[in-house]
Every structure is written in structure tokens, then in C-alpha cells.
Chain A
Amino acid sequence: MQVETARPVGRHLLEVRDLFVEFHTRDGEAKVINGVSYHLDPGETLAVLGESGSGKSVTAQAIMGILDMPPARIPSGQILYNGEDLLAMPEEKRRAIRGSEISMIFQDALSALNPVFSVGWQISETLRVRTGMSKADALKRAAELMDLVKIPAAKARIKDYPHQFSGGMRQRVMIAMALAMDPKVLIADEPTTALDVTVQAQIMDLLADLRRDLNMGMILITHDLGVVADVADRIAVMYAGRIIEHADVHAIYKQPAHPYTEGLISSIPRLNSKGQELATIKGLPPNLMRLPSGCKYHPRCPYMQQPICTDVVPPALDLGGGRTSACHFAKEMLDGQLHR
């Protein structure tokens, strides 16, 4: 893909290359991931942004190897970890990497804790299963991890049950579990959507500190453009199972190079957008059973031009500086020369 030729720097910590995922459903094949490519280096935060159903979580599940297959199928694509393809390596090796070096905080984390076991037990079990640590050592490490994620009086709370923790605290516990194996890659799937702004700010701070201190690469999945602007280094915007724009965070907010990104950014109410009608993206998210021809965004795009947009799938155009956009008119858009 274009992303690669633009970055001759060799291999990345993690790289998804032209990934496709389909789900077999009663009504036919749902083409959920349609050629996703993105990469991650140590110590950086890549935000994956996109509306509900665009495929953010499914891509992450493919990386983690936790897709149910069937109904899911990966017809093609690569997931390279330090240059080695997770999809092609022997099962045992793959499991070792996924169990320890790549870790994920799940979208529905708040319900992921088991209510009948103490929090400390749940963290230490993760450790025992993965490393064969002794029970005493695992409990000690669990307390350290709870301390690392700033749970006050961690040692004393290790025997507490999930219901004795607030939402923010439970999210910290989930982060502690994800960190149990000192991962190199942390995938955080909507880690703060269920939390209040003040607690959200605490958790995002915590993740930023951990990423820096442990030199992890972090993939932050979200649809909150505010959170992204606060913490991300780079952004990959997803639409209908494909990265349609990929850029440095500052560049993308200054001047989007894809009409969908522009639509997203302009529909956020800002603290000072008082009295104006909010910009909207017309129409509906695409039906994955019957994806539109050509550019998947064309039925909603204010700049759509026939026949090129309806007939030709736009390639990811290299715009320089690691920036790509899958729009036929990306260059014009970037130069401010595209008009409705």
C-alpha cells in the first residue's frame, strides 16, 4: 500500500496490511473490513476513529486473534508484529505473542469483570495462567499493578469485589489486567466512553503516563474527536472497513484531506458554536451487505463526481509526510480547491 512506500524506514512494531474480514450471516456475506492498513511504533499513540459499525473493533479483534471463525473469515491480509505475520506463523508462537506482547482493553470493560471473584484474584489468575507464577507471587504482582494504575490503597483493596469499585476504578482494574504481561502493544477500545469527563480525564492521563513509562505503542479506538485531539500522535479514520485518511493529528484537524473526515470534524458541537446549525453528514452509514460501488462514501459525499466516484475505488493517495487519503480529489481538497 501507499503508506508503505511513503515510509521507507523499515519495519514497524505492529503493522496491519491490506486486511479483509467477512462475516457469514443469514442474509449473505457482510464485508466488514475491506483493506485496512495501519501501523504502530513504540511509544506512540495511533487513534483509530470512525462511526459505529465502521470496523474499528473487528480490526482489533483480528489483531488479537479473538475473532470467531466462523462466522468470520480473513480472505487476505497480513498482521505483522516486528515484521512477522501473525496470520501465517505457527499457532503456538502466535499464541505466545498475543498472550503477552499485545494486549487489549475491551470496549465493554465495565461488564467484563466477573462479579463473584475478588479483583485481586482476577488479576493474579491472569498472571498465573500466562506465566505459571506461584499464587503468592501473582497476588503480590497484582497489588503492584493496581498500584501502577493508581488505585488508592491497592494492597488493602485486593480482596474487594468488582461491585465495591466505581466505574472509573473498574476501568483501572481492566487496565491493570491488560498490563499484567508488560505488553509492547496496548489496544484500548473506547476505554472511556462509559465514564464521566472528570474520570475520563484521569484515565486518559494514566494511559498516557503508562505509554510513556513503559514505551508501549498504543492504539486508541474511539469516536470521540475531542479525546483524539488531546492524546493522539497520528489518526487513522475508518469508513466502511477501510482507512480513508491517515495523518498526523495536527495536520488533520487543520485541513482534512478526505470529505468524510471533514464532515466528521465539522459536525462536532464546539463550546463556541452557539446559535449555529450544526453541520451534518447527510444519509446513513453504508449497508455492509451491499456496499456502494466505487468510493464507498459517494452516496453521502457533497463533492461526489460522476462517473469517477461511482465507478472507481479511490486508491490511498500519498500526500507526503506519511499522509494518505482515499479520495480521488484528495490533493484538491488539501489545497482548498474542492467545492460543493
Chain B
Amino acid sequence: MANSTGEVILSVDNLVKHFPITQGILFKKKIGAVQAVDGVSFELHRGETLGIVGESGCGKSTLAKLLMRLEHPTAGRAVLNGRDIFKLSGGELRRLRRNVQMVMQDPYTSLNPRKTVGDIIGEPFEIHTEVAPRGDRQRRVQELLELVGLNPEHINRYPHQFSGGQRQRIGIARALALKPEIIVCDEPVSALDVSIQAQVVNLLEKLQDELKLSYIFIAHDLSVVRHISDRVGVMYLGKIVEIGTEEEIYERPTHPYTQALLSAVPVPDPDARAHRDVIRLEGDVPSPANPPSGCRFRTRCWKAQEKCALEEPLLIRRAVEPHPSACHFAELKHVVA
């Protein structure tokens, strides 16, 4: 943990979010539930970046929305600075909203096209008037623009006058406006070209050092996640299946899903083609409305045995490695080329 001080700032405990599936128009009958997030626990330290990776639909964005209190959990707690965020209301909830901010995936649609950049970045000040008194706002917005590497003179421009990477900077400036401690980044660079992506990743790292921010960095690009993260959690069908330091996850993964995921990352080196040992997973991710019994990965796992269908593997330390892995048969396998 390069940047972190070790102090736990956010502690997530057994978080669950099930979306009900209903039938009928007048009398809605619950016929099942999408188990989008199902028992997720982790800790986030001050100044640290926790990466969250996993395939589409595994619950990453739902987790982010829960932490932003945009969704209410079915069960579980998330303790921030000693208080469960799901029990907050009124002034305390407003303070939470200040403290945890989010950067969205799509820089093209997440900004209101009819507002100027100044209005967009300054908007949080309207709600949280205590942070910047009215007369001070223009100056604060210009400071923020400068902080994220945009020209402060462009304060009156509209989003369409900026490129994708610049728009993502605007989103970051807005997230920083209220001086949060935690920023949840949901696929912040996925829509950007590599050259622009690198600029935004560098910016996030610079801001973290300067402002001692903690990030939850959600992405499906494993190379970007490794680059920016101190620790990484791997999600599959609503559960974290393996969590550890960046080095533990990438160099010493013990869960078959992590191993498959890492082995499938295309390596930008054509000479490595011949030596790569890609683990080919069969089939698709099962529906989160009807996950397999026992281990949720067992329908695609080449090591699955009877025990895997009967007993759910817990996310605990396994004999082979000190970091937690939710596999009955956890074992080391080096997969990164």
C-alpha cells in the first residue's frame, strides 16, 4: 500500500442488494430476485485505491451506487468514519454526500449539455452552500479547473466544446468540488482512447497524492486497475471471490476465476503470443437471478467437484496464500505473461 496510512476510512460489511423481479401489472407479485450484490465485505484505507474488477453484470456499479446511497441495501452495513451510512439522515446524510463523490463512466452523456462548465462544476455548491460562499464560487471553480489541468478561462464553455478526456476532467473537477475523502470511480476511463486514458489516470494519481484521497476504482481493464490500485477485489456474480494487494492478486492469484481473467488479458507484445497460456472459459456468466448453488463459478470452472455444488466457498485465507480466496481448492498458478 504505497500511499495509504493504514487507517480504515470505510468498512463494508456483508452488503446485499437484491432487485425484486415482479410479475403482474396491478398486483405485483415478487417471483424472484436479481442478486446483484450478495454479501460483499471489504475495508478501504485512507489514501488508498481499491480496484474492483469483474465481468459485465457482476454487480460493480450496483456496489458503487450503494456506497453513494443511490440505492438502498437489502442487508448489510457500510461504516464511514464510525457511522453506518445507511442509517444517516438529514444533516448527517448531507455530510456523507459531501464526503463520498463519484466519477461516472461516460464522459459524453454524464454532463448536462445545456449548462456551462462553470455551472456544472459549481452545482454542488448550490446544495452545500457552506463549502463555498456565493461570492467565492467563481474563484473556486477556476481553481478546480486548474487543478484538473483545464484552462480556467474556459469556465463559460459548454461540454460539447471539450473532448472526451477533457469532459472526464470536468467530471473529476465536479467530484472534487466538495473536498471529499472518498471518490468512487465507475469505469472512469473505459470510454477513452489509450492516449487520453493515460492522461486521466495520471491526473487521478496526482490528485490522490496531493489531496490524500481514497479511491474505489471500478473497471474491467485489468491493466489499468493494476496500474492504479493498491489492493484489488475480484467480483463474480455479486460476490468478491478474491481480494488482496495488487501484487497478491496479479502475481499470486489462487482463485480459478481470477486466474482465467488474468490469463485472458491481451498482452501488448506480439512476441509473447506463443508463450501465453490463456485459460479458455466455457460458456457464459449465469444469470444473477438464478445463480448456481454452492460456488457460483462452478458452471465455468475446470476444477469443479461435487463439493463445489454443495457448499459455498467462503472468502477466507487459504493454506496456500495469506490473502482471502473463495475457492475450496485454492492453489497458486502463475498466469501473467
Tell me the minimal C-beta distance from B246 to chain A in angstroms: 7
Contact across chains for B284 and A199 when beta carbons are under 8 A apart: yes
Residue A207 at the B interface, CB < 8 A?
A: no
Asked whether A268 and B194 contact (CB < 8 A) given A253-B268, A278-B202, the answer is yes
Identify which of A166, A230, A279, A284 contacts B198 (C-beta below 8 A): A279
Tell me the minimal C-beta distance from B160 to chain A in angstroms: 13
Which chain A residues lie closer than 8 Å to B280 at the CB level?
Answer: 201-202, 205
Tell me the minimal C-beta distance from B64 to chain A in angstroms: 18
Which chain A residues lie closer than 8 Å to B166 at the CB level?
Answer: 284
A188 to B284, CA, bound (A): 22
> Considering only CB atoms and an 8 Å cut-off, how many residues of chain B contact the other chain?
45
Which chain B residues lie closer than 8 Å to A279 at the CB level?
Answer: 198
Tell me the minimal C-beta distance from A211 to chain B in angstroms: 15
A175 to B43, CA, bound (A): 43
Q: Which residue of A lies closest to B164 (CB)?
A: A52
Tell me the minimal C-beta distance from A54 to chain B in angstroms: 9
Interface centre among A195, A270, A271, A277 (most CB of B within 10 A): A271
Asked whether A271 and B198 contact (CB < 8 A) given A196-B56, A198-B55, A205-B280, the answer is no
Asked whether A253 and B227 contact (CB < 8 A) given A51-B193, A227-B266, the answer is no
In chain B, residues 249-284, which have Cβ atoms closer than 8 Å to a Cβ of chain A?
250, 260-261, 264-273, 278, 280-281, 283-284
Contact across chains for A52 and B193 when beta carbons are under 8 A apart: yes
> Considering only CB atoms and an 8 Å cut-off, how many residues of chain A contact the other chain?
48
Q: Which residue of B lies closest to A300 (CB)?
A: B195
Which chain B residues lie closer than 8 Å to A198 at the CB level?
Answer: 55, 260-261, 264, 281
Q: Which residue of B lies closest to A254 (CB)?
A: B271
Q: Which residue of B lies closest to A53 (CB)?
A: B193
Asked whether A196 and B55 contact (CB < 8 A) given A230-B266, A274-B226, the answer is yes
Contact across chains for A253 and B201 when beta carbons are under 8 A apart: no
Asked whether A275 and B270 contact (CB < 8 A) given A167-B56, A198-B261, the answer is no
Contact across chains for B205 and A273 when beta carbons are under 8 A apart: no
Residue B336 at the A interface, CB < 8 A?
A: yes
Contact across chains for A197 and B269 when beta carbons are under 8 A apart: no
Contact across chains for B195 and A201 when beta carbons are under 8 A apart: no
Contact across chains for A273 and B227 when beta carbons are under 8 A apart: yes
Residue B12 at the A interface, CB < 8 A?
A: no
In chain B, residues 273-302, which have Cβ atoms closer than 8 Å to a Cβ of chain A?
273, 278, 280-281, 283-285
Residue B223 at the A interface, CB < 8 A?
A: yes
Asked whether A267 and B264 contact (CB < 8 A) given A166-B284, A205-B280, A253-B271, the answer is no
Residue A72 at the B interface, CB < 8 A?
A: no
Q: Which residue of A lies closest to B163 (CB)?
A: A284
Contact across chains for B226 and A226 when beta carbons are under 8 A apart: no
Residue B220 at the A interface, CB < 8 A?
A: yes
Tell me the minimal C-beta distance from A229 to chain B in angstroms: 4
A268 to B195, CA, bound (A): 8
Asked whether A277 and B265 contact (CB < 8 A) given A166-B284, A229-B270, A263-B195, the answer is no
Asked whether A275 and B202 contact (CB < 8 A) given A198-B261, A199-B284, the answer is no
Tell me the minimal C-beta distance from B59 to chain A in angstroms: 14
A235 to B283, CA, bound (A): 31
A10 to B129, CA, bound (A): 73
Which chain A residues lie closer than 8 Å to B205 at the CB level?
Answer: 277
A223-237: contact bitstring with B at CB < 8 Å (1 yes, 0 no)? 111111110100000
Which chain B residues lie closer than 8 Å to A271 at the CB level?
Answer: 222-223, 226, 250, 265, 267, 336-337
A166 to B287, CA, bound (A): 10
Q: Which residue of A lies closest to B247 (CB)?
A: A274
Contact across chains for B273 and A229 when beta carbons are under 8 A apart: yes
Residue A13 at the B interface, CB < 8 A?
A: no
Contact across chains for A196 and B220 when beta carbons are under 8 A apart: yes
Tell me the minimal C-beta distance from A277 to chain B in angstroms: 5
Contact across chains for A250 and B198 when beta carbons are under 8 A apart: no
Asked whether A269 and B223 contact (CB < 8 A) given A230-B273, A280-B202, the answer is yes
A261 to B64, CA, bound (A): 36
Contact across chains for A197 and B202 when beta carbons are under 8 A apart: no
Residue A281 at the B interface, CB < 8 A?
A: yes
Contact across chains for B270 and A267 when beta carbons are under 8 A apart: no
Contact across chains for A249 and B270 when beta carbons are under 8 A apart: yes
Contact across chains for B261 and A281 when beta carbons are under 8 A apart: no
Residue B224 at the A interface, CB < 8 A?
A: yes
Contact across chains for B195 and A200 when beta carbons are under 8 A apart: no
Which chain A residues lie closer than 8 Å to B272 at the CB level?
Answer: 229
Tell me the minimal C-beta distance from B8 to chain A in angstroms: 23
Identify which of A200, A264, A274, A284 contacts B264 (C-beta below 8 A): A200
Tell me the minimal C-beta distance from A147 to chain B in angstroms: 16
A275 to B246, CA, bound (A): 11
Contact across chains for A264 and B194 when beta carbons are under 8 A apart: yes
A222 to B39, CA, bound (A): 37
Identify which of A169, A229, A232 contacts B267 (C-beta below 8 A): A229
Residue B319 at the A interface, CB < 8 A?
A: no
Residue A168 at the B interface, CB < 8 A?
A: yes
Which chain A residues lie closer than 8 Å to B195 at the CB level?
Answer: 51, 263-264, 267, 280-281
Tell me the minimal C-beta distance from A43 to chain B in angstroms: 17
Asked whether A280 and B222 contact (CB < 8 A) given A196-B56, A197-B265, the answer is no
B177-197: contact bitstring with A at CB < 8 Å (1 yes, 0 no)? 000000000000000011111
Q: Which 5 A-B pairs have the closest CB atoms?
A: A226-B266, A278-B198, A281-B195, A269-B227, A267-B198
- Could you write out 15 A-B pairs with CB less than 8 Å apart? A196-B285, A197-B222, A200-B264, A201-B264, A201-B266, A226-B267, A229-B273, A253-B270, A253-B271, A254-B271, A269-B221, A269-B224, A271-B223, A279-B198, A280-B195
